[in-house]
Structure formats: C-alpha cells, structure tokens
Structure 1
Amino acid sequence: MKIVFPVLSLEMGGGARFIYHLANALVDKGHDIEVIMPEKGLQVWPLRAKLRRVKELTPSSIPSADFIIPNFYLTVKPAFESRNGLVVRLSLGYEPLWVPDSKIAKQSYLIGAPIMSISEWHRQLLFQQTGLQSTVISGGVDTSTFRPYPKPSEQTGIKKIFYIMRDPTSGYTWKGGSDFLKAVTRLKEQINFELTVSLPEGAQFSSPVLCRVKTSTTDQELAQLYAEADLFVYTSYFEAFGLPPLEAMACGTAVVTTDCGGNRDYASNGENCLLVPPSDIDQLSSAIYYLLTQDTERQRLAASGHLFAQAWSWQRTAAQVEAFLLSLK
C-alpha cells in the first residue's frame, strides 16, 4: 500500500516519535511510506520512509496514495481537501483538551473519516466528546534499543531517579512537572538519591534539588537514561497512551506513574508499576519513597515490567494499522 503521513514536524515529543516508529515499521512490512513535512519542520527522529519537504502543508502538496493519515488537527484539512486518497485520522491525543483553538480542533474529527485511537481510554474519550467510534491501535517500544543496562547504584549504593520535564511555557501544563518537583523536595529531607532530568524542549530549568540535566536527542541516549535509573517517575494528568513508562519498563527500570488514562492498557498497579492519582503529592511522594527504600519490591516490579514490555513492539502496532486499513478497502 502507498501510505502518506502529512506532519508539521518530527521534533521532540511522544507524538513525533510515535509517527516515526510507525512509519518505519510499515516500511519494514513492505509498504510504500512517504512523510510530507514543511521546510521549516524539524526532523529529530530518523526515518527509513521517504521524506518529502514542501514549502507548506497544503492540499496540492499531498501526493496520491491509497491512504493519507493525518495525526494532528492542523494536518487534517489539507489531507482531506487534497482528494488524493482515503483519509484515515490517527488521533494521538484529543487536541481540544489542550490547544487554544479547541473548536477548530474538534471540527477536525467531524469530517467523516475513519479514526484510529491509541488506547481504550482514548477511544472512550473520543466517543464521549464527539459521538464517534474509533479503532484502537497500540503504542509500542523498540526492545532492541530500550533494554536494560548496568545500574550505577549497584556500585555506589545511591539510587537514581529519572524524570522527563516537559516545558510548561510550550503548553505542556498537564504533564505534572510541578507535582514532581514538590514530591522530590519533600523526599530530599528523608532519603539520599540522585536525580536526572531530561529536557526535550531544552527549556530553562531550575530544580529545588541537585540534579543532572540532560537533553536526549536519540532513542539510544534516552534508553540509557531510563536504564541507568533505579526509578522512572511519570506525572501526567491525562495521556492518550504515554510512551515513557512502557519504555522505562522495557529498560528494566521500576516505574511510578500517575493513572493518566491511556496507560491503563499496559500499567497494572502492583504488578508492573505503582499507580498513583494525578496531582496527589502525598501518594506520589510515598510511592517514590517506598520503591527507593524497598529493594526487593523495586526489583520485582522492574523485572515484571521488563518481561511485560517485550510483547509491545512497533511491529505489532504496524500489523494493527495494516489490518485496519485493509478492512477499509
């Protein structure tokens, strides 16, 4: 099949990473995949699919294909108006929850195109908000890259926490960064730990506790940050899926995550992670403290998460997308 993905950019962030992994996995399955992106769009993640740069994303810039798969509300209109293939909306998150022009974002779902959602929670949210049904395809993880590494704490005895701090000034106010900082501020008086913070947007960052600041630009760099930590913490209020906890599990690292919706498809409290309510600083702090101090339980959850993540491949995701597209023919 010829499949076109019109995108605004492939820069830092889970949505862009979802697209590049899916596009590459579809290429590996033998499909003709082309990504169309404006000249000013940034490409951070490597593509094995064709990449066509255009001056701007317009209907005339979309080539003919069997399927055109826009994934962000601003890419839907040019895809639909191109009339160059069957448009299938890939929703990586319900944009009216966070974008300023929520009315336009909602209208982008009401064009009559089939919709792919990325978790059961996400599917239910889309139905509640739009009355439209969608088909769930799962996120994945590249377990050849996201895998265990030796943990420095085995030599130093000092446990390491890893956190990805999204920039609230870039619109990421629902990621719970301030909640995490409040929690570790409490904990610094109770227990000795090392903190590593990744800044995908490269924003200015001031931490109340001593930390190492990193900007990971490749999956390999990100995987090493996950794997070297003893604990990964995730604090989003809502997510359509949420790749980072699953990636941390694949790296053999214990996870504390908020119950943010989409991660319910893979996050099981007490089995492969600890789940806490969003924005509950007390429970977040307690869960982090518990896993930093209870070695046997932390190692049990890490081992369980690592085993669980092995089945969640991008090849599985591509097979789900392929089957859905073929059902539309």
Structure 2
Amino acid sequence: MKKLKISLVLPFPVTKPVGGASVMYQYANLLQSRGHVVSVFHSLKRPYKKSKTPLWYKQFVFWMRKAARPKWFALHPQVKCFIVPAIIDKYMPDADIVMSTWWQMAYAVNELSNAKGKKFNLVQDYETWNSDTTLLHQSYSLPVHHIVIAQYLQDLLMSYSGIQPVHIPNAIDTDRFSVQVLPQNRNTQSVIMLYSREKRKGTPYAMEAFHTLKKDFPDMLVTLFGVYPPPADLPVWIKYFQKPGDLPSLYNQSAIFLSPSLGEGWALPPAEAMACGCAVVCTQIGGHRDYAISNETAILVSPEKPAEIYDALKKLFTQPGLRIQMANRGREFMATHFSWEKSVSQLESCFYTALSE
C-alpha cells in the first residue's frame, strides 16, 4: 500500500497531559511507525473562538516555551511538530490526509483546499463546554469524514447528521499499563482517583464520599493524581501526586479506581487502571460504557451521588473476593477487546477507502 503524507491538527499547543491530545499523539506514533510521514499542527486560532490575547504574543510565549513538541508525551522522533497561526492553506502543506480533533477545527479543515488531503475529524467527546451548541451540532454534518471513539458518540452524531460515523475505540498500551502487583496482594481499602478542578470530572462528590467512608473505615487510604497543584487542606490519609512519572506503579499500589465524572469522551484513566488490575467504580455515563459493564468489569453509580459511591466502595472493601474477581475480569476485558494496533489498522483502512473514492 502507498505510504501516506498525513497532517494531524490540534486546536492549541498542548503543554500538559490531556487525554484527547494523547490519543492524537498516539496515532501519530503508530502511523509513523508504519512508514507514513506524519506532521502535527497546533493552531493558535480556532473558528468561532474569540481571543483577547494578541496572536503575536501567543506565538512568542509558545516559542519561548518550546511548546511545538510536547514534553510530556514521547513522540516518535520522526514525527514533525509545528505551531501555526491558523489552519488555513497558507500554513498547511499538501498531503494525502488531514485529520483534526475538536469541533471548531472541523470547520477549519473543511475550508482547506483539496490539495491538503482527504478531510477527517476525530470526535473525542460531546464538546459542549464553552461552545455554541448549535454550531457544534452543525459540525457533525460537515462534509468531512467523522470518526468517533465511543459508541455513545456514534449514536449522538447519527441523531444530528443522519449519517453513521465510523467507530474506532481508544485503547490502552498494555505493555506499559499492566499488572505488577496481583489484586489479592493489594491493600483492600486503598483507592486511587484522578483529581481535577473541572466541574465535569465530579471530584467534589468523590471527596464527600471519601470523608464519610473514613469514619467507618479508618484504615482507608486514598491516592489522588493530576496536573493541578495539590488541593489545600488535604488530610494525611490522602496522598497527592502532581504529574506522576510512573502512573502504572501508582495504579498497582491501589485496589480500586474511582471515576466520578459527569461526562467523558472515552475515559482513559479508568481503562488504564483496569488494565493494571484495579477494580473500577465509575459513573454510568457514555464515556465509561464501552468497557465498564455493570457488575462484571465495574460497579456503576449515578453521577453526582456521593451516597452511591460510598455504597460501591464499601461493597468492595468488605467483599475482597468480589473485588479480586472484578479486577481480573476487567483486566481480561481490556486485553481482549481493545488494541492500538487494531485501532490504527481501522484508521488506515478509512484513509485508503477515502483516497479511493
């Protein structure tokens, strides 16, 4: 098969770990490893996004920070990275494929000339925050090839556009995220969670449940990690790791992973923790649905319900056999149902099909 020239488009330079960007970078690595020529373009301007910061100042700041190439993600050395003022013909090279992520960038890619490549957009979430929802929904009908990462997003786009997009699920690097400590050898009352200040991540509901649980289970230990500075007034029984260098080891030190999110695209941390042998408690939302099967691979709770989080964690604290069984089923499910090699093969197939049209 012909090796392709591929342009991947991100809505901004990514200076800290972000799930959607990591997926695009992962595809950049996999496609480059298969012999394609991959370039990543980070835009300083987005359609329908007003900015009070002058463009020249943004360019200077990101140049000073050397932000074109992410420091937090190990990109293939042959993947080229650029920061461009905007995604327009002037700044984009001719290519076989151009693929964006984030709804505003779909509008930008749609306006490119055909010489810039067959046009794709990877939909990684229901991106309603800070968005004009009318324009968001209209973006699903743009004449670009839409690909979604989760089943609920496939249903969503179909409901607005009348066209069923291709579903290519995310995956987990199981060489990196794997069991180092067997579930039965972990502290039964240990919980790990991603800490976030974003409202949609649901952190306050989990914290309320933790404080209630601590009264009934004084030996409980909680580990938080995230990109933000440590939250103020953390009790001594909650440890916090900012931008941890060895996340798989953190997962392996805990028995249970909690995700209290109100909304996700295809949540990576619960899936990573599942692959590392954690039993998972998570909210019943679309972004968990592809791998969190109720009472098989996870215990599902309603969003914004600390009492349900309390009950789920208590159940796993007091029934270690159930926790171990669920952890093993979850790890096996991740290993047999999700593969980056399979997903990138599906993506390549979409590219070649579009080029043959």
TM-score normalised by structure 2 residue count = 0.83
Identity %: 26
Shift of the 152–262 alpha-carbon distance from structure 1 to 2, 3 Å rule, reads closer
Specify the alignment match of 1:30 in structure 2.
Answer: 35
Q: Say which of 180, 184, 191 aligns to 1:161.
A: 191
Specify the alignment match of 1:123 in structure 2.
Answer: 154
Specify the alignment match of 2:181 in structure 1.
Answer: 150
CA contact (8 A) 2:140 2:160 kept: no
Specify the alignment match of 2:13 in structure 1.
Answer: 9
Unaligned runs of 5+ in 2: 44-58
Shift of 1:27: 1.9
Residue range with higher mean Cα deviation, 107-116 or 36-45: 36-45
Q: Say which of 280, 283, 288 aligns to 1:263.
A: 288
Amino acid at match of 1:75: M
Specify the alignment match of 2:168 in structure 1.
Answer: 137
Specify the alignment match of 2:122 in structure 1.
Answer: 90
Cα distance between partner residues in 2 of 1:4 and 1:206: 45
Shift of 1:208: 6.2
CA contact (8 A) 2:188 2:255 kept: no
Classify the secondary structure of the residue corresponding to 2:309.
helix
> Greater Rg, structure 1 or structure 2?
2
Specify the alignment match of 2:229 in structure 1.
Answer: 202
Residue range with higher mean Cα deviation, 241-250 or 136-145: 241-250
Unaligned runs of 5+ in 1: none
1:1-329 equivalent positions in 2, closer than 5 A:
1-7=4-10, 8-10=12-14, 11-38=16-43, 40=62, 41=67, 43=70, 44-48=72-76, 50-59=79-88, 60-83=90-113, 84-95=116-127, 97-150=128-181, 154=185, 157=187, 159-168=189-198, 173-191=199-217, 192-202=219-229, 204-207=231-234, 210-218=237-245, 221-311=246-336, 312-329=338-355
RMSD (Å) for aligned C-alpha atoms: 2.3
Shift of 1:295: 1.1
Residue range with higher mean Cα deviation, 31-40 or 185-194: 31-40
Shift of 1:263: 2.2
Shift of 1:269: 1.4
Amino acid at match of 1:137: I
Shift of 1:300: 0.8
Shift of 1:5: 0.6
Q: Give deviations 1:40-66, integer Å, cap 9, x for gaps.
A: 357221211523323423312222111
The aligned length equals 321
Cα distance between partner residues in 2 of 1:264 and 1:279: 17
Shift of the 126–276 alpha-carbon distance from structure 1 to 2, 3 Å rule, reads same
Amino acid at match of 1:2: K
Classify the secondary structure of the residue corresponding to 2:328.
helix
Amino acid at match of 1:45: F
CA contact (8 A) 1:6 1:57 kept: no
Amino acid at match of 2:143: G
TM-score normalised by structure 1 residue count = 0.89
Specify the alignment match of 2:50 in structure 1.
Answer: none
